[in-house]
Amino acid sequence: MRVLVVDDNKSMRQLIRRLVSSCADQIDECSDGEDALAIYKRYRPDWVLMDISMKQTDGLEATRRIKAVDANARIVIVTQYDHPNLRKAAASAGACAYVLKEDLMEIPRILLELGTEHPG
């Protein structure tokens, strides 16, 4: 399984990397949604773990753009913001899950459980 971790906070990327290392064969990282789109196009990871709040291109816009490239892309929003409007916006953008950073331990479970489902 190939996973792309997108977060502007390097420490958070490293933490998420450690959490998913047991279920991912390859882990790529970047700090902005614009880079996430380029990496997605090049490597087509099985999963994208996407922060919302980033400087150049935010996670919701990056999610929309990745889904426009590949409707089957599996994107999990990983954020500190727990607001119904953000959850709705993430779902509308095409995210398949929404995880709060305080619940990071949920990520490996999501990847493994939803990873057995074939997109499309």
- Enter the pTM of the model: 0.94
- Give the whole-angstrom CA distance, residue 56 versus residue 26: 25
Architecture of domain 2-114 in this structure: 3-Layer(aba) Sandwich (3.40)
Confidence of residue 114 (pLDDT cuts 50, 70, 90): confident
- Give the whole-angstrom CA distance, residue 41 versus residue 65: 10
Do the bridges between strand 26-30 and strand 97-100 make them parallel or antiparallel, or are there none, so unpaired? unpaired
Please report, for the chain, the start and end positions of each structural domain, with discontinuous segments joined by +.
2-114
Tokens of 51: 């922060």
What pLDDT score was predicted for residue 118? Answer: 45
Strand, helix or coil for residue 53 = coil
